[in-house]
Every structure is written in structure tokens, then in C-alpha cells.
């Protein structure tokens, strides 16, 4: 049954209206989205979780992308039909935000967040079927892209995530199914890790949203 009020999210006994209905469109309110995200973050990650003022710009981009506000995305240089590559220093909150942002649009199909290192370990154990599995038509966010170990299965070395990204690019071009990722690496480091061909495909596969390089480690 279709949810007639996807802009009103219920957590326990509390309702969080993220905007208001205008005809068949939702007019979202960014400040209300932030209130909900902080509340949901505390439920998911503990009472110490908070939304930091310094992250507002990143959150504004992620929120408008998630709600598919095409006009605002265009002004910010984002293409809603591509995936998100969220980059930033260690501990800045990339994974938490990619987990959280899914909840503001319960009427859209969610993506699954998978640590890149787990995929490589899977390849080392069962081989090339892993690349096939993650190259297919599900929605994924690959977490910590670029710092996973090298793949090796029965003496055969493989840049596992590089091969998966090539498969995801083909999938995107054929079906429009998007891929997301988080990374600590910059563009040059990603190219060194995966090569020019994969880096070229990543430009077409992802919108880049980046934390400031000086963003503090929130886990300390």
C-alpha cells in the first residue's frame, strides 16, 4: 500500500514532518530534515550523535540529491541521475551520513551499504562470482572505497573494486541504476589505486560531494 504521507516520518511516538504537501508534490524544509536526521542519528548511533554546523553544506547537497530536487541540484552542479561519491578525511562522518540520508525518503528504493574490504575478502574466499554479484542490478553504496586490500584467489591477483566499478558503470549506462560510495582518497589517489580507465568511468558514474579537508575526526 502506497504511503500517502511520505514527508511525515514516525519514530516511536514522535512524528517528524519534513515539509508539506502541495498538490502531489512535497515541499521539503531543510531545517526540519536536519532535526529529523539528528534524532534518527541518535537512535542509530547513540545519544552522542549530533549534526555539526560545519557539515551543513554537505548535508544540504545530500538532502537535495536524496529528495530529487532537480532545480537545486542543477544549481549545485549535481546530476540526480548519477550516484554520489562522498569523500573526506577519516572520521568526518561519511558513512553515518550515507546511512542516515536514506531515511528521509522512505518512498524511494533504499541502497545497501557494503564495506569495500568485505567484498575483497569475499573475492579471496569464493572468487570471481563476487564481481558478478555486485555488478548486478541492486542498489549499493560501497563504503571506504580505495583502502580495501588487494584481491587474490587461488594465485590470481585482482583489483576487485576496480572491476566492480567497471561493471557498475556498464549497468548504469544500460539501466540507469545508480551506485554510491564513500572514500578517504582524493582524485589522484583513486586514479593511482584503480587506473585511468576506472577513474574515467567514475567521473560519469558519480557526483562528487566532498567534506572540507580540514574537517575534524568526530570519533575522537
Ordered by start, the domain boundaries in the chain are 8-210
- Residues 6+ away with beta carbon under 8 Å from 62: 84, 86, 97, 101, 209
Residue 3 has pLDDT above 80, yes or no: no
Nearest to 143 by CA among 88, 79, 104, 189: 88
Cβ(133)–Cβ(168) under 8 Å?
no
| Of the candidates 136, 137, 163, 167, the residue with the CA atom closest to the CA atom of residue 148 | 163
Band the pLDDT of 215: cuts 50, 70, 90: confident
Per cent of the chain over pLDDT 90 is 83
Instruction: Determine the Cα–Cα distance for residues 85 and 140; give it in Å rounded to an integer.
Output: 12
- pLDDT at 194 (0 to 100): 95
Rounded Cα distance between 131 and 117, Å, is 13
pLDDT of res. 218? 81
Closest residue by Cα to residue 92 from 67, 125, 57: 57
pLDDT of residue 200: 95
Does the pLDDT at position 1 exceed 60? Answer: no
Alpha-carbon torsion, ordered 181, 63, 77, 218, to 10 deg: -60
Q: What's the whole-number mean pLDDT along residues 41-67?
A: 96
pLDDT given for residue 154 in this prediction: 86
Mean pLDDT to the nearest integer, 7-31 = 92
State which CATH number among 3.40.630.30, 2.30.30.30, 3.40.50.2300, 3.40.50.300 fits the domain covering 8-210: 3.40.50.300
pLDDT given for residue 137 in this prediction? 83
pLDDT for 140 beyond 50: yes
Rounded CA separation 116/15 (Å)? 35
Name the pLDDT band for 2 (thresholds 50, 70, 90): low
Amino acid at each position: 500500500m502506497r504511503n500517502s504521507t511520505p514527508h511525515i516520518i514516525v519514530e516511536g511516538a514522535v512524528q517528524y514532518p519534513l515539509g508539506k504537501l502541495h498538490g502531489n508534490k512535497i515541499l521539503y524544509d531543510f531545517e526540519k530534515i536536519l532535526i529529523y536526521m539528528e534524532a534518527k542519528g541518535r537512535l542509530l548511533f547513540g545519544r552522542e550523535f549530533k549534526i555539526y554546523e560545519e557539515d551543513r553544506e554537505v548535508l544540504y547537497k545530500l538532502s537535495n540529491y536524496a529528495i530529487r530536487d532537480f532545480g537545486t541540484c542543477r544549481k549545485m552542479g549535481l546530476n540526480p541521475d548519477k550516484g554520489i561519491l562522498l569523500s573526506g578525511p577519516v572520521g568526518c562522518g561519511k558513512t553515518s551520513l550515507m546511512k542516515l540520508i536514506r531515511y528521509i525518503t522512505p518512498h524511494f528504493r533504499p541502497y545497501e551499504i557494503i564495506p569495500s574490504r568485505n567484498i575483497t575478502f569475499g573475492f579471496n574466499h569464493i572468487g570471481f562470482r563476487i564481481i558478478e554479484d555486485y555488478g548486478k542490478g541492486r542498489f549499493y553504496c560501497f563504503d571506504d572505497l580505495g583502502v580495501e586490500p588487494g584481491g587474490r584467489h587461488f594465485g590470481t591477483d585482482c583489483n576487485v573494486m576496480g572491476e566492480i566499478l567497471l561493471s557498475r558503470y556498464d549497468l548504469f549506462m544500460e539501466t540507469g541504476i545508480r551506485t554510491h560510495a564513500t572514500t578517504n582518497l582524493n582524485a589522484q589517489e583513486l586514479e593511482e589505486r584503480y587506473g585511468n580507465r576506472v577513474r574515467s568511468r567514475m567521473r560519469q558514474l558519480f557526483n562528487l560531494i566532498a567534506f572540507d579537508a580540514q574537517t575534524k575526526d568526530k570519533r575522537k
